[in-house]
Structure 1
């Protein structure tokens, strides 16, 4: 049995793709007789993922504000790692720029336990362009925490060649051993009533066809571009609706609602909040297309989920797997601009029913050949086991 410890900022499913990927890999490894435990920087009294097939140790700070809490400073982390890391065959560090990276560097660098790091897109130059002052602060953190962590890692793991290329020399000095591993998501369960469950949860949608965004509602995801593009094209298919589903941690929904209201199409744009289970699967399968005009996305778990549902995906060329999507005929890609997003949706609306159906077939094939979580779990475990003495 291979025993893995994964260090991740939070086990809260609302934090996005990294914890969902970690959870799915853990479930596959458990069925194969292996184990992945989690060390998180969540407050100790928070409880997430009650069905997780391993131990979750939460050593983070208590709830509240302040820079140290936002940084997730956890003084118990380094002593815990020094006392427990050798119980594991390897350690995976998921994410950068929080105390998890600094603590892992202190406790693991130069030690006997091999460790690997997933940057999860956090080295993308988009952040340097959009927040130059924050980038300077990150460069200081790089010298102190991230550079030693990555330099001493057995491998820094990128989920696509595009992500690895974008990360190159993002900070100075840039010295690391990199590898590209498969990444993806689990196949969607086949529930005959999933679409009905979704539509019943959103009665205002009725039986209308719709475009779907599913993820964190945030400006980085291009949600404003999407709603404005839908407004610009709304007259082309008067029956078509837009569903923007996900947690609104940035409080962006009122602004998006106002955009739709000012255009007189508020009744055709829906914000059902975070979807899960049958409702989520039903939304993915029932959508005419999945749209993600993101300004930065190192992978996009929701893109892989849409492909698993056999749903065409319309993405910006800042989603790192856009080349694979286009190459497989599973959707379209365009620039992460207003004009690009309008063009993206317009090209899909111009497709005939036969072309849209062919795209659905290709979307499913793209998922099974590239992004199935079984392939990702085997790829990651094989790389780790090759590094175990």
Structure 2
């Protein structure tokens, strides 16, 4: 059994989808499912060549749509080697090229792979309603009418990471009539065992860290993630209580206008730290040395970092716009509030009001949520069964 995955980029800094692919492929290999990836990256990128599966990098595009003339010919030449094709994400050239190539291929071949689309939350109504996305929302309406509704409706099925994503996708665009809607789940590889070198690596990356358990935000520094809500809530609670665990906001985007604005907003506290993106031992040190993970996001399809925190037995303080919030709330693995400044403040305050025993119990529950819902073994089996391989 062999799957081809089509994605714009496998750059780790692009976040969720490419990391999800990297998490899933080794586990699918254990089930007898091989995977290859084709992407529109520069083949000389330093992040390529390090994965245990083949990545075909066709070259980086220099236009907003990510057009690459090499993609359709490559797909037509290689489709016959695969039983299934997964198109990861929407709104860029790769999705249009994939369905166009598949329609052409089906006219000349009697054995065609099944084609699935995995939108990774890109059909969430948030993206059409957010005020700061008005131009992109208009673009999406046009793309939907011209390209994407054909892709969604002509594919053999649409793959969702959780039930919440599946339900929300039905509410966003007209003429949404997929052949099948399949909740294939999602999961992550178990974290490595804690090692003191992780603490050392984390301390080296964050020299201002005081060595005590902290709040950790680990994601892109982006308006969608609610970083402003978190900083304002933290500053308010710090004023009231006088002393709080340090807040470490780790992730790419500090050089962007929003990232710079967030650093200015946090300048009133010496306890809010911005180390940039953390990876490897430093990232795991950030998780293991924390007391809770915080993400008041306005929209989160799955939240790999949320699940990584759960797997490290760290409670998560999240908004109910993180699509896996129901599983977390049901399993008592964290605190779930709305995506507002007031509710983010309440989440932090509620955590600070817990006694040591209550925090310990929630930590155990957090790991239980991971084991019960989000292991990569469960997700890989659900994925394979969902697409009938």
* Aligned position for 1:119: 119
Task: Please tell me whether the aligned partners of residues 162 and 324 of structure 2 are also in contact (alpha carbons under 8 angstroms).
Answer: yes
Cα distance, 1:257 vs structure 2 = 2.1
* Aligned position for 1:8: 7
Task: Please tell me whether the aligned partners of residues 60 and 72 of structure 1 are also in contact (alpha carbons under 8 angstroms).
Answer: no
Task: Please tell me whether the aligned partners of residues 212 and 289 of structure 2 are also in contact (alpha carbons under 8 angstroms).
Answer: no
Unmatched 5+ stretches in structure 2: 107-111
* Aligned position for 2:80: 86
Structure 1 window deviating more from structure 2 (167-176 vs 42-51): it is 42-51
Task: Please tell me whether the aligned partners of residues 125 and 171 of structure 2 are also in contact (alpha carbons under 8 angstroms).
Answer: no
* Counterpart among 277, 283, 297 of residue 300 in structure 2: 297
Cα distance, 1:199 vs structure 2 = 2.4
Does residue 229 (structure 1) correspond to residue 233 (structure 2)? The answer is: yes
Cα distance, 1:361 vs structure 2 = 0.1
Does residue 28 (structure 1) correspond to residue 30 (structure 2)? The answer is: no
Unmatched 5+ stretches in structure 1: none
- 1:95-136 alpha-carbon deviations (Å, 9 max, x no partner): 000001100110124832101111101011111111334222
3-state SS of 2:147 partner: helix
* Aligned position for 1:378: 381
Does residue 165 (structure 1) correspond to residue 167 (structure 2)? The answer is: yes
* Aligned position for 2:214: 210
Task: Please tell me whether the aligned partners of residues 42 and 58 of structure 2 are also in contact (alpha carbons under 8 angstroms).
Answer: yes
* Aligned position for 2:109: none
User: RMSD of aligned C-alpha atoms?
Assistant: 1.6
- Aligned counterparts of 2:24 and 2:208: Cα–Cα separation in 1: 37
Structure 1 window deviating more from structure 2 (368-377 vs 190-199): it is 190-199
- Aligned counterparts of 1:363 and 1:183: Cα–Cα separation in 2: 17
Q: Tell me: CA distance 1:185–1:49, structure 2 relative to 1, closer, same or farther (3 Å).
A: farther
Cα distance, 1:33 vs structure 2 = 4.2
- Aligned counterparts of 2:242 and 2:116: Cα–Cα separation in 1: 48
Task: Please tell me whether the aligned partners of residues 30 and 53 of structure 1 are also in contact (alpha carbons under 8 angstroms).
Answer: no
- 1:138-165 alpha-carbon deviations (Å, 9 max, x no partner): 1221122211111122210111111111
Cα distance, 1:47 vs structure 2 = 4.5
- 1:168-198 alpha-carbon deviations (Å, 9 max, x no partner): 1411211112111120211110032122331
Structure 1 window deviating more from structure 2 (314-323 vs 42-51): it is 42-51
- Aligned counterparts of 2:158 and 2:256: Cα–Cα separation in 1: 30
Query: Pairwise mapping of residues 242-261 of structure 1 onto structure 2 (< 5 A)?
Result: 242-248=247-253, 250-261=256-267
What is the aligned residue count?
Answer: 377
Structure 1 window deviating more from structure 2 (37-46 vs 239-248): it is 37-46
